[in-house]
Amino acid sequence: MKTKLQEQDFINAAKTLNCEVAVIKAVAEVESKQDGFLPTDEPIILFERHIFSKLTKGIFDHSNPNISNRTPGGYGAVAQQHKRLQSAVALDRNAALMSASWGKFQIMGFNFTLAGFNSLQQFVTAMYSSEAEHLEAFVEYVKNTFLDDELRSKNWAEFARKYNGPDYKKNKYDTKLAAAYKKYKG
């Protein structure tokens, strides 16, 4: 079983980002709703078929619409995501790995450099390593995308828009973040 984040990990991340610990915990809860790993010790992922379609210029859309499709969705169960990823890897490894969101903070693979990694493989290896690596990648991503201001001011809507994309309201990321923050703030 992979090591879970400890209180000191959250404290260190909050200090680095100059924000409250409750803010980091809120993002962790909303993004993964659970541990950063499955019982199989594989990192939690969500394979995004529309990203795979975009990265491969739609060449697999007709032959493999369940893993390559211009329309988001078709996710299935969390436990099935690695099977979907492996099917995509068989078609185009790099595009597949970049088309999944990874770990406790659900960072998209195509953001590996913004998360502080020199290569996609280095990022994926870190995602298989520990929740501490997930948190470190999140901190680097936030710093490199200048989202720390949104976290400090608790501007949940703007953070959610930039972190989750323009459809954040559809999934109520902003309201979920606000509620999780309130819970952790006590």
Per residue of the chain (186 residues), what is the pLDDT tens digit?
Answer: 788 899 999 999 999 999 999 999 999 999 988 789 999 999 999 999 999 999 999 999 999 999 999 999 999 999 899 999 999 999 999 999 999 999 999 999 999 999 999 999 999 999 999 999 999 999 999 999 999 999 999 999 999 999 998 889 988 999 999 999 999 998
- The answer to whether position 117 is within a domain reads no
3-state secondary structure of 108: strand
- The answer to whether position 97 is within a domain reads yes
Structural domain of 170: 7-30+129-185
Q: How many domains does the chain have?
A: 2
Give every CB contact of residue 106 below 8 A, 6+ residues apart in sequence.
31, 32, 44, 46
Residues 49 and 23 in one domain: no
Residues 91 and 136 in one domain: no
- The answer to whether position 38 is within a domain reads no
The Cα–Cα gap between 18 and 60 comes to 44
What local confidence, expressed as pLDDT, does residue 179 receive? 97
Indicate left, alpha or beta for 46 from its phi (over 0: left) and psi (-120 to 50: alpha).
Answer: beta
Q: What is the helix, strand, coil percentage profile of the chain, to 5?
A: 55, 5, 40
- The answer to whether position 20 is within a domain reads yes
3-state secondary structure of 19: coil
- The answer to whether position 76 is within a domain reads yes
Backbone angles phi and psi of 46, in degrees to 5: -135, 115
Give every CB contact of residue 42 below 8 A, 6+ residues apart in sequence.
82, 128
- The answer to whether position 107 is within a domain reads no
Query: What is the reported pTM?
Result: 0.95
- The answer to whether position 165 is within a domain reads yes
Within 93-155, where are the H helices? Answer: 93-98, 120-129, 131-144, 148-153
